[in-house]
């Protein structure tokens, strides 16, 4: 038995086989070939296999996410049949007498560069598509796997760390838990684990090796320990611990339908944070009062090009309808920093957390922002939908947002498309600047939602993704709590409500403190709704 100590990010016990997340490991070399006809046939065979894979993906996506979201796989099939693309590959193979891998990689680079340099946003989006389909063909030609996408049985996912674009590809119904070598408590792997209500351990270091792939393992999410090849005694102890944990969760289920009210009668709304339509079941199952944060950027992370207005409208409408009149707060696009999307073609930055991200992208690339706002205002007709804007630092930004909203509403009206006019608007309080001007901001909007992950990062000047700084990162820091208190006082002074949608909202040690501050809402991962309700009901 191998025992590896890490850091727990979500409690519980998980027992199953380890599966290491495999990334592409292929080196494309230029090689001279003597038979161009044979090499071209080799490419055609790989292309045919890629088309078959895309057809299967289309059928699967059709069932999982609907026709609008599945269309991308049809587009990719069409790209593989594009004459210009095919002629370029054939020409390189025959004229330069080189291998198919080199010809595909060169064509992909040339076409991606050509699309990326165009002024049209749609055509720029094709750059990521041509790379994606070419990577699929190269995987087949090189005989490598493209990462854990097909999981034959439920397993514990092991990796160095996982990017948001990688976590969205996983078959979440088969993920028993996460074990990563690196990462912080605020990494996307950690947030995903909390959303999915599954145990996760991070920071296991180099001891977690791919040589353990396929071995039986146990995650103890309470102590942060990973056991590989556990002995019988450890396995029995962990099975008993898991049974007790499930029993505890069953007791929490008895709180469903109860109010979030303290012993002294103070009420507070408890909502859920989600990133996908597939999380809706967890929201309803855990009896959340609404959705306090829908991370719309996952629509962009899951796509290989900009999601269309219709794609977004279908998702927002489904969320609004499913919540049947309960509040649904959708955060506009929050790309940048640690959430990178290839087709946005963002430059590499020295300090991405302080860089071109979130509302800054939306206000400087209004065509992207307008598409999202049109979808949101149309979907608002079907439920109780509110919109909030991330990374706000000035009143002028809010006024600019309102100008763009007015343009969007005028366009929808002129086109005769139904939309809701009086949608509740809010801003996220994530920067010290927003806290300091919160009284002025409160005059412009209907509500505040405190993003404590970023607020802590910016207040303490600590990169929350840097695990070397974990000992310095203190979300309970008096300065952070003072910031939240100031924002709450200023919101209430202007008659507006305020909530928390960051990870701190689920910190049961601070629940009583937040109640004293008079916070109106706490939004947490669906799995934490009932534990938070229990804590609220115990408070005086």
Question: Per residue of the chain (540 residues), what is the pLDDT tens digit?
Answer: 999 999 888 888 999 999 988 765 677 889 999 999 999 999 999 999 999 988 888 887 777 656 766 787 888 899 999 999 999 999 999 999 999 999 999 999 999 888 888 777 667 767 777 888 898 899 889 887 655 556 778 999 998 887 655 666 677 788 899 999 987 776 667 777 777 778 899 989 989 988 898 899 999 999 999 999 999 999 999 999 999 888 877 877 888 889 999 999 999 999 999 988 878 888 888 899 999 999 998 888 878 889 999 999 999 999 999 898 899 999 999 877 666 677 787 778 777 778 888 999 999 999 999 999 999 999 999 999 999 999 999 999 999 999 999 999 999 999 999 999 999 999 999 999 999 999 999 999 999 999 999 999 999 999 877 878 888 989 899 999 999 999 999 999 999 999 999 889 999 999 999 999 999 999 999 889 999 999 999 998
Axis crossing angle, helix 121-142 with helix 36-65, rounded to the nearest 10: 120
What's the Cα-to-Cα distance from 428 to each of 72, 275, 392, 404, rounded to whole Å?
A: 32, 17, 7, 18
Cβ proximity of 91 and 114 under 8 Å: no
In angstroms, rounded to a whole number, what is the distance separating the alpha carbons of residues 539 and 512?
A: 6
Query: For position 463, what pLDDT does the model report?
Result: 86
Provide the β-strand partners of residue 177: 156
Can you identify the CATH homologous superfamily of domain 255-538?
Phosphoenolpyruvate-binding domains (3.20.20.60)
The closest of 130, 78, 76, 71 to 105, measured between CA atoms, is 130
> What pLDDT was estimated at residue 265?
92
Report whether 453 belongs to an annotated binding site: yes
What is the edge-to-edge ordering of all strands in the sheet holding 7-10? Answer: 2-5, 225-228, 216-220, 13-20, 155-159, 175-180, 200-202, 7-10
Q: Let me know: does 133 contact 79? Beta carbons within 8 Å.
A: yes
Q: Is 310 annotated as a binding residue?
A: no
Can you tell me which residue has the tokens 């005028």? 410
Give the tokens for residue 204. 């296991």
Strands (E), 403-536: 424-429, 447-450, 497-500, 521-524
Q: In 3-state terms, what secondary structure has residue 205?
A: helix
Q: Would you say 439 is a known binding-site residue?
A: no
Structure tokens at 379: 């979907």
pLDDT of residue 479: 97
Q: Which helix (H) or strand (E) holds 413?
A: helix 395-414
User: So what's the pLDDT on residue 144?
Assistant: 72
The pLDDT score that the predictor gives to residue 164 is 57
Q: Dihedral of CA 522/523/528/530: which sign?
A: positive
CA 427, 432, 435, 437 torsion: positive or negative?
negative
Q: What is the C-alpha to C-alpha distance for residues 272 and 264, in angstroms, rounded to an integer? A: 24
Pick the CATH number of 36-142 from 1.10.533.10, 2.30.110.10, 1.10.274.10, 1.10.3720.10: 1.10.274.10
Alpha-carbon distances, residue 392 vs 219, 347, 351, 456 (angstroms): 39, 21, 18, 15
Listed residue (128, 129, 150, 125) closest to 53, CA to CA: 150
Residue closest to 508 by CA, chosen among 295, 283, 252: 252
63: annotated binding-site residue?
no
Task: Please list, in sequence order, all residues whose beta carbon lies within 8 angstroms of the beta carbon of residue 271, skipping any fewer than 6 positions away.
Answer: 288, 289, 290, 291, 292, 293, 327, 329, 499, 501, 521, 522, 523, 524
Distances (CA, A) of 135 to 25, 101, 178, 220, 291: 11, 10, 27, 37, 37
Tokens encoding 25: 């490991």
Length of the chain: 540
- pLDDT on residue 303: 80
Separation between Cα atoms, residue 269 and residue 336, nearest integer Å: 30
Q: How far apart are CA 88 and CA 103, in angstroms?
A: 8
Q: Are 272 and 529 in contact (CB under 8 A)?
A: yes
Active-site residue list: 188, 501
| This model's pTM is above 0.85 | no
| Domain 2-19+149-251 falls under CATH 1.10.620.20 | no
Residue 237 is assigned to a ligand binding site: no
> CB count, 10 Å around CB of 293?
27
Where do the structural domains in the chain lie, given as residue ranges?
A: 2-19+149-251, 36-142, 255-538
Task: Determine if residue 295 is labeled as part of a ligand binding site.
Answer: yes
């Amino acid at each position: 038995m191998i025992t590896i100590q890490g850091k727990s990010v979500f409690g519980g016990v998980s027992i199953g086989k380890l599966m290491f997340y495999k990334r592409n490991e292929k080196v494309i070399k230029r090689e001279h070939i003597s038979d161009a006809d044979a090499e071209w046939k080799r490419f055609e065979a790989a292309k045919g296999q890629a088309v078959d894979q895309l057809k299967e993906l289309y059928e699967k996506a059709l069932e999982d996410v609907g026709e609008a979201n599945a269309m991308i796989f049809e587009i990719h099939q069409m790209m593989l049949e594009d004459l210009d693309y095919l002629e370029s590959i054939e020409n390189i193979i025959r004229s330069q007498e080189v291998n198919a891998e080199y010809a595909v990689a060169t064509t992909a680079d040339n076409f991606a560069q050509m699309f990326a340099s165009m002024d049209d946003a749609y055509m720029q989006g094709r750059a990521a598509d041509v790379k994606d389909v070419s990577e699929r063909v190269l995987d087949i030609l090189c005989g490598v796997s493209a990462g854990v996408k097909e999981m034959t049985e439920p397993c514990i996912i092991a990796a160095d760390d996982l990017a948001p674009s990688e976590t969205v590809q996983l078959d979440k119904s088969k993920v028993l838990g996460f074990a990563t070598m690196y990462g912080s408590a605020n990494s996307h792997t950690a947030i995903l684990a909390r959303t999915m209500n599954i145990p996760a351990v991070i920071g296991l270091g180099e001891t977690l090796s791919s040589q353990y792939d396929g071995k039986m393992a146990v995650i103890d999410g309470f102590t942060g320990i990973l056991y590989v090849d556990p002995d019988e005694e450890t396995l029995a102890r962990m099975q008993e611990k898991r049974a007790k944990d499930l029993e505890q969760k069953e007791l929490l289920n008895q709180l469903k339908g109860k109010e979030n009210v303290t012993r002294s009668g103070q009420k507070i709304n408890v909502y859920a944070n989600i990133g996908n339509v597939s999380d809706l079941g967890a929201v309803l199952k855990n009896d959340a009062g609404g959705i306090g944060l829908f991370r719309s950027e996952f629509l962009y992370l899951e796509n290989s090009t900009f999601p269309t207005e219709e794609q977004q409208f279908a998702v927002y409408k489904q969320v609004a309808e499913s919540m049947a009149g309960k509040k649904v707060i959708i955060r506009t696009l929050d790309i940048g920093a640690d959430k990178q999307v290839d087709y946005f073609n963002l430059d590499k930055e020295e300090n991405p957390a302080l860089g071109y991200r979130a509302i800054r992208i939306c206000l400087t690339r209004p065509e992207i922002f307008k598409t999202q706002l049109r979808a949101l205002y149309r979907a608002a007709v079907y439920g109780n939908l509110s919109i909030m804007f991330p990374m706000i630092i000035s009143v002028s930004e809010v006024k600019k947002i309102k100008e763009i909203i007015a343009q969007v509403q005028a366009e929808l009206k002129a086109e005769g498309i139904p939309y809701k006019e009086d949608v509740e608007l809010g801003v996220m309080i994530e920067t010290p600047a927003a806290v300091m001007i919160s009284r002025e901001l409160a005059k412009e909007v209907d509500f505040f939602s405190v993003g404590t992950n970023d607020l802590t990062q910016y207040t303490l000047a600590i990169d929350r993704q840097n695990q070397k700084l974990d000992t310095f990162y203190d979300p309970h820091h008096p300065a952070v709590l003072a910031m939240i208190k100031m924002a709450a006082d200023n919101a209430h002074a202007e008659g507006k409500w305020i909530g928390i949608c960051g990870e701190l909202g689920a910190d049961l040690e601070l629940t009583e403190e937040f109640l004293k501050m008079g916070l109106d809402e706490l939004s947490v991962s669906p799995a934490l709704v009932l534990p938070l309700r229990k804590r609220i009901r115990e408070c005086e």
